[in-house]
Structures are given as structure tokens and as C-alpha cells.
């Protein structure tokens, strides 16, 4: 299997299909200036990004499962077609637990390294969700930025209802020295307060307890100030109105089998997508949401 994928998709010094943890197929992208990213076909799951001259940006739990039909705890799980338990499907939908196909790899004339992964409806998805669709994730690696473009195509004669998100886990040096900026004045649903709705007052949101909120209709530029690492993570998005901020803190960390009890201070999820609503895609229509990450010194 690897030989076929390698023969079709490897690009010398830029894209390699290799065996990842537990032998799962993984695509490694390498930019000419030294940036690197990794994405598993299982879930189209980005597990690593190191910008040129920088250090790892994403958190992956040491207890993460790398196995067919399991979601990887960390990196960027792709959430589709349901966010959380907001519907009849398994938590966060089936995209993150499905095997995706590698659709294309390329290097642009400007040195951008691009990989597209694809999930289409199958007997397994139709058994849970009766809609014909294509879901593409394009991963674009530049020297100092990583872009993920998520695209849904409705192949049905009927409307397709869906939620989609990039459930990004950032590696932070110390959650108590980390803030999220760019959400002041935005309404949010607080899952820890019976889904009551509030307005964010803080210019810089600090996290000193469990947090699980959906911020609605947010600005398209946000920042995670990770002062322990001396860096700011910039998030720029299009077509993805909502943002989830999540850290499990102590008790929930202890309840999660694939997450170390002591790992919560080293991570923060800032997720982008349409989790606050159920969008409807007309027959043959296309939805696209993109998120770009870049880093600056704090
Ligand atoms: C977040 C949800 O998006 O994902 C949280 O808001 C949830 O409620 C978290 O706990 C992790 O979910 P899971 O299914 O990966 O454990």
C-alpha cells in the first residue's frame, strides 16, 4: 500500500508518504526553507507543524491513540458533519475517525507545499448519515504559515445540513500564562453553565479553570499569546464564523483515557468552524472554510 502511495504522491524532498505511529500512513510535508508538517490519512489529521526556524506548534497527548477508527488526541481533528453531541451522530461526527484518501500533492512555483485529502460518502457513512458528499482538506505549508482549507460539496438533490470545524490543539508552555485575544464583545455559549449565553468582556481571555465555550460570529483574526514560549500564534480564518475555546483542566483530564492527567497546562484548543449553527448546503453547492496559522515573537 505504501509503495503505491509513494509512487503516486511523493515529491522529492517535499512530500513523503511514510509509516507513522503504529504503521498508520502519514504524509510529511517539507518546505524548501525548512518548515515541516505531518498529516495522517486517518482522519486527515494534522499532528505536527514546525515553521522554518521555529518549534512545534501543536500539542499531541502522550496517551493519544493511533489506531483505525480512533480519533487522535491532539493536532487538528477535522469535525464533520456534527459538532460535539449536537445531533444523532457519534461525538464530533465521523470525519475524524474515517480513513481518508490522499487526492493530490504539489509544490507551487512559490515553494508552497500542498496536500489534499478527501473523504467521500461510503456505505459506512451512509449507514449513519444518508447524504452523498465530498469533504476535502487541503493542507498548504509555507515557510512561516500553515493553511488548512476545508471544503464540503453536496452531491445530493436535497439540502445537506452540516457542521464543520478544525479542532486545533495548540502546545502552550503554561496555560496560566496564555491568553486568547480578539473575542472581546463577542457572544458565547458556555457549555459549563447549561449552555447559557454571555458576552465576552475580556480583551485578553485568561484560563484558570475548565473552559468550554462556543464564541459566535467572531472576528476573522485572533491571537493566542503563549508568553511562556515567548510567542504569539496568529489565527486568520475565512468562512468559519465560530470559535471554540476549550481546556479540560484537572477533573476532565482525569476522565479522558487518551489524555495525561498532568497535560492540561500544556495545551489549549482554539477551534474554528460553524459549530454554533447547522449550515445548510443547497444541491451541488460548495462550502469552504479556511484557517491560517502563523507565529510571531511575543
Ligand atoms: C470540544 C468540546 O470541542 O471538544 C468539548 O467543546 C469536548 O466539550 C472536547 O470535551 C473534546 O471532545 P472529544 O470528543 O475529542 O473528547
166-210: pLDDT as tens digits:
999 999 999 999 999 999 999 999 999 999 999 999 999 999 999
Residue partners of 24: CB distance under 8 A and separation at least 6: 40, 41, 42, 66, 67, 68
pLDDT band at 298 (very low <50, low <70, confident <90, very high): confident
Spatial contact of 165 and 244, defined as CB atoms under 8 Å apart: yes
pLDDT band at 296 (very low <50, low <70, confident <90, very high): very high
Tell me the C-alpha to C-alpha distance, in Å, between residue 186 and each of 14, 219, 236, 242. 41, 9, 17, 10
Q: How far apart are CA 215 and CA 194, in angstroms?
A: 15
Distance 84 CA to ligand 1 centre (A): 6
Spatial contact of 40 and 71, defined as CB atoms under 8 Å apart: no
Nearest atom (ligand 1) to Cα of 92: 14
Distance 90 CA to ligand 1 centre (A): 12
pLDDT band at 3 (very low <50, low <70, confident <90, very high): confident
Q: How far apart are CA 256 and CA 258, in angstroms?
A: 6
> Does 242 contact ligand 1 (Cβ within 6 A)?
no
pTM of the model as a whole:
0.98
Q: Which residue lies with its CA nearest to atom 16 of ligand 1?
A: 256
In this prediction, residue 2 carries a pLDDT of 82
Distance 190 CA to ligand 1 centre (A): 13
Q: Name the residue of 246, 252, 268, 274 whose CB sits within 8 Å of the most ligand 1 atoms, as the mutation to test its pocket.
A: 246
Cell of 134: 465530498
- Phi, psi for 128 (deg, rounded to 5): -100, -30
Amino acid at each position: 500500500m505504501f509503495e503505491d502511495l509513494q509512487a503516486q504522491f511523493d515529491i522529492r524532498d517535499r512530500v513523503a508518504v511514510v509509516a507513522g505511529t503504529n504503521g498508520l500512513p502519514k504524509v510529511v510535508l517539507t518546505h524548501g526553507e525548512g518548515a515541516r508538517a505531518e498529516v495522517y490519512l486517518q482522519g486527515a489529521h494534522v499532528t505536527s507543524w514546525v515553521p522554518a526556524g521555529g518549534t512545534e506548534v501543536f500539542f499531541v497527548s502522550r496517551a493519544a491513540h493511533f489506531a483505525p477508527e480512533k480519533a487522535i488526541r491532539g493536532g487538528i481533528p477535522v469535525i464533520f458533519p456534527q459538532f460535539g453531541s449536537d445531533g444523532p451522530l457519534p461525538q464530533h461526527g465521523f470525519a475524524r475517525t474515517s480513513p481518508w484518501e490522499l487526492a493530490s500533492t504539489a509544490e507551487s512555483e512559490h515553494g508552497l507545499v500542498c496536500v489534499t485529502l478527501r473523504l467521500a460518502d461510503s456505505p459506512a457513512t451512509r449507514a449513519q448519515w444518508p447524504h452523498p458528499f465530498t469533504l476535502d482538506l487541503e493542507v498548504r505549508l509555507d515557510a512561516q504559515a500553515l493553511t488548512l482549507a476545508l471544503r464540503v460539496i453536496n452531491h445530493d438533490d436535497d439540502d445537506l445540513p452540516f457542521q464543520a470545524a478544525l479542532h486545533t490543539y495548540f502546545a502552550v508552555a503554561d496555560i496560566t500564562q496564555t491568553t486568547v485575544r480578539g473575542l472581546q464583545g463577542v457572544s458565547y455559549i458556555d457549555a459549563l453553565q447549561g449552555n447559557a449565553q454571555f458576552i465576552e468582556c475580556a480583551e485578553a481571555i485568561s484560563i484558570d479553570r475548565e473552559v468550554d465555550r462556543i464564541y459566535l460570529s467572531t472576528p476573522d483574526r485572533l491571537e493566542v499569546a503563549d508568553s511562556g514560549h515567548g510567542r504569539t500564534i496568529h489565527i486568520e480564518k475565512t468562512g468559519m464564523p465560530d470559535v471554540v475555546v476549550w481546556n479540560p483542566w484537572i477533573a476532565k483530564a482525569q476522565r479522558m483515557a487518551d489524555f495525561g492527567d498532568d497535560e492540561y497546562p500544556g495545551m489549549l484548543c482554539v477551534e474554528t468552524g460553524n459549530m454554533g449553527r447547522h449550515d445548510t448546503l443547497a444541491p451541488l453547492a460548495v462550502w469552504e472554510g479556511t484557517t491560517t496559522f502563523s507565529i510571531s515573537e511575543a
